[in-house]
Amino acid sequence: MKFELKTYNRNISEQELLDDLKKVALKLGKEKITTLEYEENGKYSFGTYQKRFGNWSKALEKAELQIKVQRDISDLDLFENIEKVWLHLGRQPLYKELKRPLSKYSTRPYEKRFGSWLKALEAFVEYINIDGEQKVENEAYIFEKKPNTEIVFKHITKRQPSERLKVQVLMRDGNKCRLCGITVTGDNIHFDHIQPWSKGGETLLDNLQVLCEAHNLAKGNLEYDVK
């Protein structure tokens, strides 16, 4: 293991700041970089540049880089990013985990928009719990019996849960397989219908549970709910 000394930036020169700015631009292959792009790749903080040059645009001008105007990030953009990260981790993201490549945005736009990362999470939970059930019809499901005696159910929901509904299940149950208790993340998170889809089970929060890949495949269309 290599140990390195982390230096403090109290006496950093203007030229060193500009050189690192140019280094990041070269690394990214861009003549325009945003504060977010620099903070994720640079050596110093945005605050250091702000104190030294007054604002980011002036720092870019000094470094002979083009000023990039970043489009406004909407609340929906920020919420969808949390949703993506939450689904990948299978749990609530931590402050320190909001960085590339896992997260499109750092915590900075969340803090700027909502006041703090905690308040951003509170707003996200409120958003994610609105209209989570993905019904496609208003009437209750019915079933038909074909001549060959096969029962075919007509569902009021789509078979695959929406990303929002998946997050709701994870928020309720966590990211552990309900059959074996193993912690699951990424592609190993399977959202299982407690009452099987083939037997009329709907894609609703109360009818979904988290399983690992192995147990989801083993369970098949058995009706098995772990209380």
Query: Pick the residue with more confidence: 166 or 227?
Result: 166
Q: What percent of the chain has pLDDT over 70?
A: 81
Residue 99 neighbours by CB distance under 10 Å:
13
pLDDT digits 0-9 by tens, 68-121: 545 578 899 999 999 999 999 999 999 999 987 888 888 888 988 999 999 999
What local confidence, expressed as pLDDT, does residue 142 receive?
42
Domain of residue 208 covers: 142-219
- Residue 42 near residue 63 (C-beta atoms within 8 A): no
- Residue 180's SS3 state is coil
- Residue 4's SS3 state is coil
175 and 119 in a common domain: no
Indicate the average pLDDT of the chain.
82
47 and 84 in a common domain: no
- Residue 32's SS3 state is strand
What local confidence, expressed as pLDDT, does residue 210 receive?
94
| CB within 8 Å of 75: residues ≥ 6 apart | 113, 123, 127
What local confidence, expressed as pLDDT, does residue 70 receive?
52
106 and 56 in a common domain: no
Does residue 1 fall inside a structural domain? no
109 and 80 in a common domain: yes
Total domains, the chain: 3
| CB within 8 Å of 112: residues ≥ 6 apart | none
- Residue 58's SS3 state is helix
Of 61-75, 92-106, 180-194, 200-214, the poorest mean pLDDT is in 61-75
Name the band, by pLDDT with cuts 50, 70 and 90, for residue 136.
Answer: very low
